Structure 1
Amino acid sequence: MRFHPSHLLTVLLSVLLLSSGQTPARAAAEQTVPPLTDADCIKCHRQPARDIAEHGGAHKTAIGCFDCHQSHPPAGKAVIPSCSDCHGPKDAAHFALQGCQDCHAPHAPGISDLSALPDATAACLTCHEAVGKDFKQHPSLHADQACTDCHSGHGLASGQFSPCLDCHEPHQDGMQQQDCTGCHAPHRPTAYAFSPSTPTRWCAACHEETVASLDAHGGAHKTAITCSDCHQNHPPAESGVIPACADCHAPGAAEHYRVDGCLRCHNPHEPLRIDMSAVSPVKPICLSCHAAPGREMHDWPSAHAEMDCNECHAEHGLASSCLDCHDGHSSDMAYADCLKCHQPHSPTALQFGQSGIAPQLCGSCHRQPLKELGATDTEHGNLECVFCHRRTHKVILSCDNCHGQPHDAGIHRQFSDCNHCHQGPHALRN
């Protein structure tokens, strides 16, 4: 039998194992033992495992047990690591604070209870720097409070912070937390931030009279927009508080919008309740919006065309009665009767329909025809003047418009004017 060199190597390894007290079988078994995992830790350390599972944060998702606990008693000494091993003081201001475990439990680093801390504000602001900036830029009573006055726990889940309405009275019944934060951010409550969904009724809590004016006389400012469409900011802010009218009413959109000094006539919260006495003469401004009356006064000159608009219109939308200046055609005449014939901006262009105008109104000027009609026993005495004098003043219908030619053709040829026999339409004789 030949001796192979590998046989010598086997013999030497066997001698070494025997001298160390291990058998080849035992050495092979130790080489096949799997490494420990987090699941092995859970077998003994159940509470830390539950804390990690429920509140571990990045300590649960980004690392495992052996990233921090690299050895275990009694074999090792570095059992509890220092927080700064991972969270270096130079990496963030918050990591430079001392006493990490006053707030953070390593297995539940998300803070669950702030109530034990007398004033955590300084520590909180090293991490929540934006909050500190808000406090500095927008001073308020909130900035003078400790974080723990409002935040009993870390986070924004229900129960971790106090709702606004725990301390503040609501603007209106039925307000919820989301209504408060729709305008007021808790860390900068004086820096109002509106949205188009902010209801006008919230504003009424402080601006009651203004909202009442808007409700009564707001016009489209009430129905088409909300407060926040115009007031996109609120004092003490210096911009966006009072908008320019031209932001919505662009000068290029209408001639009236090119008139300067909107506020001379229009209060934004009651824009159609116009002070007609604020400008003199006011007619050029009125006609920039009401072009039709301007055309009527031009086409039908009268004393009315020489007057300023506010002599008849003390308020926008209201007009003086004709009878405030003019004597009526009869003692029982009403303003509505005036308008049946005379339009205020073209009073000399008498226009009327085919009925509804009492003959007595015409008779105030045309006394003799009215007297004759009152004396006749014919059907003409029962007709209104406008039945024959239609549409406008001085229109006279021909008899044949109604009667045709009731006589023989020869009579009509001989007497072409009906009045030769019938003495006129008002004193009609058959």
Structure 2
Amino acid sequence: MNYVIIGGDAAGMSAAMQLVRNDAQADITVLEKGEYYSYAQCGLPYWIGGDIEKEEKLVARDAETYRIKHGIDARTEHEVTSINVDEKRVIGKNFEIGYDKLLIASGARPFVPDWDNNHLKGIYTLKTIPDAKKIIQRLKGKRRNITVIGGGSIGLEIAENVCKAGHKVRILERSARLAMNFDKEMTDHIHEKAIEEGIQLDLNHDIIGFEGDEEGNVTSVITNLSTCETDLVIVAVGVRPNTDFLTDTGIHLDKHGAIKVNRYMETNLKDVYAAGDCATQYHRITNKDTYLPLGTHANKQGRIAGLNMCGKPRVFKGIVGTQIYQFFDLTLARTGLSSREIEELGYAYKCVQARLPHVAAYYPTHEPLFIRLQYNEKTEEVLGGQFIGTKGVDKRCDVLATALYHGMTMQDLEELDLGYSPPFNSVWDPLQQTARRRS
């Protein structure tokens, strides 16, 4: 069987390894647009900030390893420009290859709106190792005034790391608050932390464009409210699926441009699969397909795609929207649906929130943990939760994610048998204490 995979990162190589393990006769070709395979995109801000010292730490396996150890024809700098679905051929500049089964795992690219003068030098996005290299090189030698455009997870991670590296940082955000996937009651803590660490927050700022000097370097950002002087700009306002090359194939895309797939990662085209940041994900709470590009989803979807391609049927059981990231000494985590998302769906719901110690209140290491839960008003089925604190956040978020995956109620949360010892927990876990406050 001749398998072709477009994309050599999380989804693509998860699929490739399943083909290696499950089809002894597999002929596997991977076409990667860039020069790197299987690298940790989520680690890039921490490389820029200095927590990760070497580029090599970010690369799980290079192309040569896949070639020699696993017999995969792992090609670099092979950008696919079109697909002939009738003849089952993948086409790029100076190459063309046939397939029996095809996986599209082309990922996503950073989105840069059509702002005035967005071509100026010193305006960057962050998605790849070469992107990070350019930023690291530009930051060398002196303290810079850095503008981060976008207050989502990537924007906050970048802002934290360049701030910790000694640079002056401003965040420009078009909304009234940072981290819009959290409820307002929770984002107040994020704002306080940003200001405490010396980051300037400019909210409700719509970007108009940029100004530069005679050498073409960016010198300021123009918004609807001000002109902000800057030495360097990092744009983090979201991503778009890499699916432009699929024009005229007849493949079905959603409103974001992501490839629509079923639970077996199949597209509407025969023998064509898709996975990762270029594809949709089934959401277990809404029972609908959504677009939430994260590395965890890409790895799972790629694995499922590989198994199905080689005749070992496996269903992708879906996501519940779990995210976690660091912002200085705070951990920010959420899973399920936010209040805004629930309201957009028209569900009748209630919220309950609490500030509680993350372990036994009398134990000397306890730290405050902020919890907010959303649940169905009629059935009490849990719909989502958000957590902010310095300790104990990841544990509670993952417990709630498991509860959401299995459709549990608030009463079910109360009755969970969770570990207790004063250095680790209270007799009633903070998650359970919060759930009890609804009555």
Q: TM-score range by the shorter chain?
A: under 0.3
Could you say which structure has the higher strand fraction? 2
- Structure scoring higher RCO (CA < 8 A, sep ≥ 6) equals 2
Could you say which structure has the higher helix fraction? 1
